[in-house]
Chains A and B, each alone.
Chain A
Amino acid sequence: MRFTSFLQDKQLTVALTGEIDHHCAKDYISSIASKIEVYTPQTCILDFQEVTFMDSSGIAVVINALRSMTRINGQLFLTGLNKQPMKVFRASGIDKLVEIKEAVS
């Protein structure tokens, strides 16, 4: 797992990278939760531009981030989704729970 994050004007952006599966999802879930807890942002953006593959483990990453943001009355957005992760989100109906901005395709 490798990710970068930055905070600007109460907006936390977390850029995920590589392949998201069960092997690395646990680390993503806890790292994102602690970033949100520390910064209490108004909005959190999960940037998937560098994500080359994702299975249902990625759905749990998003749902847990959504829970953390809901708890502090904030909003979650997804951005930069490539075709394969987008298809997984659509199949699972996550695209109806979380707003997806400017998907790549």
Chain B
Amino acid sequence: MKFENYMILEFPSKSANESFARAAVACFAAQLDPTMEELGDIRTAVSEAVTNCIVHAYPNDIGLITLRCRILKDNTLDIVIKDKGIGIPDLEQALKPMFTTGGFERSGMGFTIMESFMTSFSVTSQPGKGTSVHMRRKLQRRK
């Protein structure tokens, strides 16, 4: 087994689940004894990815969001957030800072924040099939 522990959540794309998802990941990550700053970074990145599913993947209906969290052997938290929504036609463009299809309520900074707050970050997407965000954060070991 390459991982120490894991959890999988599935929930509908309702905005009330944004706070639930980031709190659930923070609780799960607590066993790694993260610092306040590390926890803040992880909660922010999860909030961004889940909000994207709610706002962009399922713009006119409610769909399913899957969140998988694993703890890898080197004190790393591994997170996958997945939807079966509309997908992203031009990923390169979507990843650019300030690119948004969301209008005045969005700023186009979500992917930029995930990338800068996590140790590693990647997105795969298929138009019509869905999007998957994979992030990792290596946590400092505290004495």
Contact = CB atoms under 8 A, between A and B. Distances in A.
Interface of A: 19, 21-23, 25-26, 29, 53, 55-57, 59-60, 63-64, 83-84, 87-88, 91-93
Contacts of B54: 22
B15 A56 contact: no
Interface stretch (B43-51, B63-71, B84-92, B134-142): B43-51
Interface residues of B, number: 27
B106 interface: yes
B60 to A, nearest CB: 16
B51 A22 contact: yes
Interface string B83-118: 000000000000001000000111101101100110
B15 A83 contact: no
Nearest to B45: A55
Contacts of B116: 91
A60 B41 CA distance: 19
B16 interface: yes
Interface in B14-68: 15-16, 18-19, 22, 36-37, 40-41, 43-44, 47-48, 51, 54-55
Nearest to B41: A87
B18 A56 contact: no
A84 B47 CA distance: 13
A53 B42 CA distance: 12
A56 B19 contact: no
Contacts of B40: 53, 83-84, 87
